[in-house]
Structure formats: C-alpha cells, structure tokens
C-alpha cells in the first residue's frame, strides 16, 4: 500500500466521521450556547489525544504478524458492519443517512432540554452533547488511523490524513455554518466499508500466515472484488424488494 493510498483511505474514512461530529456540535452551539459547546469539544479532543498518545506507540511494540492478525480481524468485523449498513441503505432497506434530518432532530432535542450549569460549565447539556458526539465519532477516527497507520508502519502519515480530514470538515463547517448535507455521505460510507473490509481481509489472512498471490499487489484484486460483491448484493436486494412490492400490489388488486 503506497503512502497516497494510506493517506486517502484514512482521509475519506475520517471525513465521514468528522461530518457527523460537526452536525452534533453545530446543533449544540446554534441552539444552546457556543462556549459550553466548544468546551465539550475541547474536552473530547483532549481525551482522544491521550488515547492516541497511549495506544499508538504501545501498538508499535506488538510484533507485526500478531498485530496484523488482531487488527485485520477487528477491521474485517468493523468493515463488515459498515458494508452491511451501506448495502441496506443503497438497496432501500434502511433509511439513507441524512445530516439535515439528524441536525433537525438534534436541534429539537436541544431546545426541549432544560438549562443549567455544573462544574464551571455554563450549559451542561450543550457541553455533554458536544463532548459525547465528538468523542464517539472521534473514537472511530482514532481506530481507523491507528489500525491503518500501525499496519503500514506509518502512524504519522495516517494521523496526518485523519487530522487533515477533521480540519477540512471543520473549516467548511465554519464557512457554511450548517450541517454538510451535500456531502455524498452514503456513497462515502459505502466506499469506506469496502476499504475497511478489504484491508481487514488482507491483513487478517496475512496475520494468520497466508502468502497472498502477488504479495501486496493482491490488494488490487481484493478491493475491486469486494466492491463487486457489495454492488452485486445491492442489485439482488433491490430486485427482491421490487419483486415483493409487485407481488403485494397483485394481491391487493385481486382482493379489490
């Protein structure tokens, strides 16, 4: 895997998570109070920085084969979860991820919540909403950056990809002051699911002792093959849904 591919994979995966975190921070800041929201965000970023500082170097002490087995298994399981949701969304079995709708829900909940400060924070609700949102989405960023970076023995570049994604999304968010609902998030999530699953399969099998035909070049077959399988499942599910709808319509007509 070359440096550009590592950077881009981590960048896209982390950008998706950053967009989701931005929606929550905006909802808390616009409806409640910016100072407490930014305090919550800063506290979450501090926790994430400590996690990276502790876990990142610790993982470099683990032998590469063992690391690839464990990280490959985790990535394959994690990627499978992403891909499953992305396929269900693309085939119409699950609602598409809509940042506009999520923002509206968060704003309504924030308006309904009672106010009040605690522990030096003026608006505790805004603080905790922002803290939880940034921490949860940030954990996914940290997980992806560390697993990819450690496996490629280039944690610095993976961290740079993650940081660039967060900075770009934050800058665009500050500029437009609205949730980034025009970002093709569902397509990006589909692509990230394919990448996470492909790398998980590749590294997991390598960690289990396999020699891939063509060594690292096998990834050039594994990634498109995973994409083809995912698209094939989308087509199958769409066809099944259309057939079920046609059958239901036929039953309704004959009953009437």
Q: What is the DSSP string of 57-108?
A: HHHHTS-HHHHHHHHHHHHHHHHHHHHHHHHHHHTTSSPPP-HHHHHHHHHH
Closest to other proteins by CB, 79 or 179: 79
Q: How many CB atoms lie within 10 A of CB 34?
A: 14
Q: Minimum distance between the CB of residue 176 and other proteins, rounded to whole angstroms?
A: 30
Q: How many CB atoms lie within 10 A of CB 226?
A: 22
Q: Minimum distance between the CB of residue 83 and other proteins, rounded to whole angstroms?
A: 6
Q: How many CB atoms lie within 10 A of CB 76?
A: 20
Q: Minimum distance between the CB of residue 220 and other proteins, rounded to whole angstroms?
A: 14
Q: Which residues of 134-153 are buried (b: 16+ CB within 10 A; e: fewer)?
A: bbebbebbbbbbbbbbbbbe
Closest to other proteins by CB, 182 or 245: 245
Q: Minimum distance between the CB of residue 72 and other proteins, rounded to whole angstroms?
A: 8
Q: What is the DSSP string of 2-49?
A: -HHHHHHHHHHHHHHHHHHHHHHHHHHHHHT-HHHHHHHHHHHHHHHH
* Cα 73 from chain centre: 17
Footprint on this chain of other proteins (rule: CB under 8 A): 69, 72-74, 76-78, 80-81, 83-85, 87-88, 91, 93, 139-140, 197, 200-201, 204-205, 207-213, 218, 222, 225-226, 229-230, 233, 237, 240-241, 244-245, 248
What is the C-alpha separation between 169 and 183, in angstroms, rounded?
A: 10
Closest to other proteins by CB, 4 or 95: 95
Q: Minimum distance between the CB of residue 65 and other proteins, rounded to whole angstroms?
A: 11
Closest to other proteins by CB, 133 or 173: 133
Q: Minimum distance between the CB of residue 204 and other proteins, rounded to whole angstroms?
A: 6
What is the C-alpha separation between 205 and 166, in angstroms, rounded?
A: 31
- Token pair of 100 as six digits: 């506009």
Phi, psi of 64 (to 5 degrees): -60, -40
Q: Minimum distance between the CB of residue 14 and other proteins, rounded to whole angstroms?
A: 16
């Amino acid at each position: 895997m070359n440096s550009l591919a590592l950077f881009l994979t981590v960048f896209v995966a982390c950008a998706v998570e950053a967009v989701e975190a931005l929606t929550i921070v905006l909802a808390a800041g616009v409806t409640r109070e910016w100072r407490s929201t930014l305090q919550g965000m800063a506290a979450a970023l501090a926790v994430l920085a400590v996690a990276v500082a502790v876990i990142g170097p610790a993982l470099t002490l683990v032998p590469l084969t063992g690391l690839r087995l464990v990280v490959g298994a985790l990535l394959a399981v994690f990627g499978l979860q992403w891909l499953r949701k992305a396929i269900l969304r693309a085939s119409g079995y699950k609602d598409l991820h809509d940042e506009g709708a999520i923002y509206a829900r968060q704003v309504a909940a924030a308006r309904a919540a009672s106010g009040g400060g605690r522990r030096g924070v003026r608006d505790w609700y805004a603080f905790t909403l922002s803290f939880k949102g940034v921490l949860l989405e940030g954990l996914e960023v940290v997980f992806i950056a560390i697993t990819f970076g450690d496996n490629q023995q280039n944690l610095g570049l993976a961290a740079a990809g993650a940081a660039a994604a967060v900075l770009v999304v934050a800058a665009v968010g500050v500029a437009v002051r609205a949730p980034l609902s025009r970002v093709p998030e569902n397509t990006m999530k589909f692509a990230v699911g394919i990448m996470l699953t492909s790398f998980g399969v590749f590294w997991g099998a390598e960690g289990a002792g396999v020699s891939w035909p063509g060594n690292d070049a096998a990834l050039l077959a594994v990634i498109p093959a995973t994409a083809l399988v995912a698209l094939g499942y989308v087509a199958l599910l769409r066809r099944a849904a259309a057939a079920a709808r046609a059958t239901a319509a036929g039953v309704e007509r004959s009953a009437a």
